[in-house]
Structure 1
Amino acid sequence: MAVPTTLRQTPLTCSGHTRPVVDLAFSGFTEKGYFLISACKDGKPMMRQGDTGDWLGTFEGHKGAVWGVALSQDASKAASGAADFIAKVWDAVTGEEIYSFQHQHIVKCVAFSPDGSLLATGSNEKLLRIYDLNNPTADPFIISGHTSGLRHIAFLGKGEKIVSCADDRTVRFWERSTGKEIHRIDFTSIPNGIEVSNDDSILTVASGNTVSFWNTTSFEKIKEYQVPSQVHSASLHPSRSVFVCGGEDFKMYKMDYSNGQEIESFKGHFGPVHCVRFSPDGELYASGSEDGTLRLWQTTVGKSYGLWKCSSDTPTSSEILSSPAKTETVA
């Protein structure tokens, strides 16, 4: 049962996309704070200031739905993968396209290595490709093993390992330098989303109506909890105190990591929730939905942070952040 709260959650609604928002990613901390990028089926990834949702720019160039996005830790580069069979790398400061990598099928996911020198892509070809951005004309290193299209990928440690999930109902760990499969976890439902913790020690997996947590060294299951809805994405707070998740019932759930008890649930979206992530400082979490919006939610309701300028008792009303149609400098 949800624990009642005396303060009302007032999410910031970031509009501008015209179709479902299917992926999002935060950068690390920079001199200008942190940033947020969103993937949408309208084919136009958007960059925003992470703590306020303020629109900074739109990356234009794809000719199909964008399924996956990533930001380098320093927010200097952005990446996107799309239904036009192309993965692109962008200058996140100017918005200009830097590289374009052709694939043979829809590119569903992209990820930067921690130092930003490598780009990993996963596609419906069932292959994982690794591009050396210091030598972008070289052929990518290809890792095979999945038997269905990939959904999400992430680097582990300093980039020595990669973890991926796919429609074949598996999560797999790979040695990056050799492409050797290190470990495989089988699920009864497709793992819709994965996330690596800030210290690389815990893998969060959203699958069916469960959220599970795995040790990335021993590969043992740490915890597994049931969620009231089929869940598409989950994110663990940097402090490991709570996790958030969302899925088919349009709700956002905040749950206790220690025992799986529901702390709060909020219904702000008007469609299934496809993606959710905590900000790097854990002060907020972002969600993207079938309804075409991004929403920013406070981890501690009522706290004065970003655009939430609150008194000690009463939160402000929700602010609507519109995205201009034209393209401007991204950061």
Structure 2
Amino acid sequence: MDKKRVAVPLVCHGHSRPVVDLFYSPVTPDGFFLISASKDSTPMLRNGETGDWIGTFEGHKGAVWSCCLDTNALYAATASADFTAKVWDAITGDVKHSFEHKHIVRSCAFSEGANLLLTGGMEKFLRIYDLNRPDAPPREVDKCPGSVRTVAWLHSDQTILSSCTDIGGVRLWDVRSGEIVRTLDTKSSVTSAEVSQDGRYITTCDGTSVKFWDANYFGLVKSYEMPCTVESASLEPKYGNKFVAGGEDMWVRVFDFHTGEEIACNKGHHGPVHCVRFSPGGESYASGSEDGTIRIWQTGPLTQEENETAAAATTASTGKLKAAGTGAEEVSQKMEGFHIADEGKAKEEVTNA
């Protein structure tokens, strides 16, 4: 049995500079969507299943470091080196709100109900914007020990997670008090922090290590050494039996969550891999690279254990996927007014590598 099969990804072109962040929406009535952040200053929205380009968000004047979508994929948020974080209408591409900062904004995240936007960056502040009152001053948490690299919400928006570019560890903040309630210690600075879909685990990358933490009790569950310095890792959301990691050696690797054994090694990128993320159903995962491309890799056949677990749900799941394609076409039609910088360049086709 050849476990390390060769995967042929969908290759998504369009960005002219490195892709530094990726974010999948949950499954919506119109399918699920993928947004990408790039140093070329133009975030892009795609059909999450096929990788087909839907639209480009125009308005930033510097590299975009972070991006996210709300639960219904109706709004997008981006964090940029132009000292702003922006909230966009994901149907029309229009800017809804632009929040000025005093330095580079490195990360952003919508709250669960999408009524709050969390940002962090080089100012060493965490800011919480009330999107129902966008003109009101944000709430600021000013005790960050370094420049903020990543932010995330957990515990139904009662806790904030943040990491810094220049010091190790992940800090967990109580939203009500604004105080650090726990620090997850790491040797190196944390370049990626993801809260699992079920809220059970926090997945972090620091140096050559991928760690999994209990998101409720904050204990270290597992820690695996990787073959190279890794920038990003993502846990498979449906069963949690595998995780994907990417970094300096340009390869995208899949590992067994329970044993740390390498299951697959996908080659194709021509530069370091800056970000990896699983799709919401776990049927594929995306990688973004220094080479300016996004590659969408199929997870492949389920294991016997996964097949047994999924047997009852297979029919419903397949039906959803078919509906997702149709919904994405409808959304594409709705988005005819989407702002496009270079129509010829943007309407690229997604080709097989």
What TM-score, normalized to structure 2?
A: 0.84
* Deviation of the 1:276 alpha carbon: 0.4
- Match of residue 48, structure 1, among 28, 46, 49: 46
* Equivalent residue number for residue 226 of structure 2: 227
- Distance in 2, matches of 1:274 and 1:325, equals 25
CA contact (8 A) 1:16 1:324 kept: no
**Shift, 1:28, TM fit:** 0.9
Work out whether 1:193 is the aligned partner of 2:192: yes
Q: Which of 316, 325, 331 is equivalent to 2:342?
A: 325
CA shift, 1:324, in A, is 8.4
**One-letter code of the match for 1:154?**
A
Stretches of structure 2 that go unaligned for 5 or more consecutive residues are: 303-317, 323-339, 348-353
Where does residue 57 of structure 1 map in the other structure? 55
Aligned equivalents of 2:273, 2:5: Cα separation in 1: 23
Structure 1 residue matching 2:103: 3-state secondary structure = coil
Distance of aligned partners of 1:220 and 1:6 in 2 relative to their CA distance in 1, 3 Å threshold: closer
Task: Return the alpha-carbon distance in structure 2 between the equivalents of residues 266 and 28 of structure 1.
Answer: 25
Deviation at residue 177 of structure 1 after TM alignment: 2.3
Paired residue for 2:266? Answer: 266
Q: How many equivalent pairs are there?
A: 310
SS, match of residue 52 in structure 1? coil
Q: Take 2:25 and 2:169, find their aligned partners in 1: how far apart are those partners?
A: 27
Contact preservation (8 Å) 2:6, 2:266? no
CA 265–140 in structure 1, closer or farther in 2 if over 3 Å, else same: same
Amino acid at match of 1:266: N
Contact 1:7 1:301 in 2 (8 A): no
Partner of residue 291, structure 2:
291
- The CA deviation string for residues 160-204 of structure 1, in whole angstroms up to 9 with x for no partner, is 111111122120111112211110122211111000001112000
Aligned to 2:334: none
Deviations along 1:216-237, one digit per CA (max 9) or x if unpaired, are 1111000000110100000000
Report the equivalent of 1:309.
none
Identity of aligned residues (%): 48
Residue pair 2:4, 2:265 contacting (<8 A) in 1 also: no
Any unmatched runs of 5+ in structure 1? 307-322
Q: Secondary structure at the match of 1:213?
A: strand
CA-atom RMSD, angstroms?
1.9
Q: Distance in 1 between matches of 2:113 and 2:99?
A: 20
The 1:174/1:6 distance shift into structure 2, 3 A limit, reads closer
Deviation at 1:7, TM superposition (A): 4.9
Which of the pair is proportionally richer in helix? 2
Q: 1:28 aligns with which of 26, 29, 39?
A: 26
TM-score, normalisation: structure 1 = 0.90
Contact 2:111 2:153 in 1 (8 A): yes
Amino acid aligned to 1:72 = D
Aligned-pair distance for 1:325? Answer: 2.7
